[in-house]
Amino acid sequence: MKRLLFLFCFFTTINTHAQTPEENYAVDPASEEHPGVPKGEVLKFVFDQSKIFPGTWREYWVYVPAQYKPEAPACVYVNQDGIQWKAPTVFDNLIHQKEMPVTIGVFVMHGRVKAADPNAANDRFNRSFEYDGLGDAYARFILEEILPEVEKKKTSDGRAIRLSKNGNDRAIGGSSSGAVCAFTAAWERPDAFSRVFSAIGTYVGLRGADRYPTLLRKVEPKPIRIYMQDGANDLNIYAGDWWMANQTMLRALTFAGYEVMHKWGEGGHNGKQGTALFPEAMRYLWKGWPEPVKKGQSQNAFLSALLIPGEEWKETNAFQFNIKPAGILAAVGKSAAGAAIAVSPDQTLAYTVEPTSHWLYSYQIQPGGKLVYKQKFGWLHSPDTEENAGALSIVCDREGRIYVATHMGVQILDQTGRVNAILPVSSGRVSALAFGGKDLDTLFIKTQNKTYSRKLKTRGANPAEAPSKPDAPKL
């Protein structure tokens, strides 16, 4: 009863609009049961052993299609807030019609920490913490805890449940906070989830998701396909305007080169249009499978000027550092008191970073290497899971760009101190970077446990050489 009451409140009472237009949507035939279509089985379980969200209790449901055979791992669809969208019926029909692959659905409720005495206290509801928060915690919860639990189960006729580990075989979706949770899981782990269904998504300032439109434009695109839905009468409250935020998100996804489809309506913060569109969304997300979802081409000119098509990070055993701390770099290094330091290609400015803030500092270099006019010059992005950018290393290229090793990967700033681009690395935060190779056109980075290299359309600035003046910055 509590779960039913929660879902009722979720889809009705949180809508603050007094008047919304009547919502009538055409019913997709795939949302209705049809004779002759094999019906899958829905199994219900409880999970209360989470180490990622300690103390939480939750229910989850597993849909297994009739066509599933344990000889081959099945594709996977994960949904937040339990079963929505008439999903089992939709899956029955689309799998039967071969409009989506044989897919096992995993429908997970948010966690809650049960009160010792429910008559005297409420449970601690973990929904916003798990769904609205940025970072990889929820993705790890699904990948490391829920999906392994699912694979311990069997169908009522004794079939073992085997799930594909290939991200191209996995989709994730939800509505409201569950939608932004789905996007976050794919954003953090595109290797694990390549297809996202987002209905009335909360890309607003509840717990930082309002940053996504900016990050999308700066971060090198990831192999994710997205289907979005929202209505003009969605919420407009203290955290932001859902309707405008979804449109801003769509424009950012399009700018960044993502494969995205959207359907806008006039409805409010409910699941009506999402339910009507769910079959269409599944057809779109799974189209062309098993052909992989590919990375798109960003319209970010800064990225285009740096990245060589087809060149990716390559794991390497050597961390090449061809620039020796001689000349001006050696001189200013004495003034920097051991901080990570880089010198502009014209050798008139020095930049330093510190791991305990999100600032990059700029100085003017005076004769003898003295540093003056210190300023908080560059603003670095910090991940939601950290209190700082974690900047540990810094270099410049000959065009005056500034490269910083951070928790979020390599953040690249223009000459005016603005982060224009971010190059993430799958194995974690970057702890060191340097230009190397014969022509100083290869960027080498160190992560927590690996070393990578990537050739770029630029060359590192070498303070041991004569100064060179880059083009003036665009203000």
- pLDDT of amino acid 338: 58
pTM comes to 0.92
- Two structure tokens written together for 83: 């079963």
CATH number for the domain running over 301-455: 2.120.10.30
Sheet architecture: strand order including 393-396: 393-396, 402-406, 409-413, 419-423
Q: Hey, do 2-286 and 301-455 end up sharing a CATH topology, with the first three levels equal?
A: no
- pLDDT of amino acid 336: 54
Residue labelled with tokens 């300032």: 205
Query: Contact at 8 Å (CB) between 48 and 114?
Result: no
Handedness of CA 160, 155, 52, 315 (dihedral sign): positive
How far apart CA 108 and CA 112 sit, in angstroms, is: 12
DSSP-derived letter for residue 234 is: S
Q: How many CB atoms lie within 10 A of CB 71?
A: 8
DSSP 3-state assignment of 99?
Answer: coil
- pLDDT of amino acid 426: 82
Could you read off the pLDDT tens digit of each residue along the chain, which spans 475 residues?
A: 445 444 444 444 444 444 567 899 999 999 999 999 999 999 999 999 999 999 999 999 999 999 999 999 999 999 999 999 999 999 999 999 999 999 999 999 999 999 999 999 999 999 999 999 999 999 999 999 999 999 999 999 999 999 999 999 999 999 999 999 999 999 999 999 999 999 999 999 999 999 999 999 999 999 999 999 999 999 999 999 999 999 999 999 999 999 999 999 999 999 999 999 999 999 999 999 999 999 999 999 999 999 999 999 999 987 765 555 555 566 565 555 557 899 999 999 999 998 999 999 999 999 888 899 999 999 999 998 899 999 999 999 999 999 999 999 999 999 999 999 999 998 779 999 999 998 999 999 999 889 999 999 999 999 888 999 999 988 8
Query: Contact at 8 Å (CB) between 95 and 103?
Result: yes
Residue boundaries of the structural domains of the chain: 2-286, 301-455
Question: Residue 453: phi, psi to the nearest 5?
Answer: -135, 155
- pLDDT of amino acid 328: 58
Fold of the 2-286 domain? Rossmann fold (3.40.50)
- pLDDT of amino acid 18: 43
- pLDDT of amino acid 319: 73
Query: Contact at 8 Å (CB) between 405 and 423?
Result: no
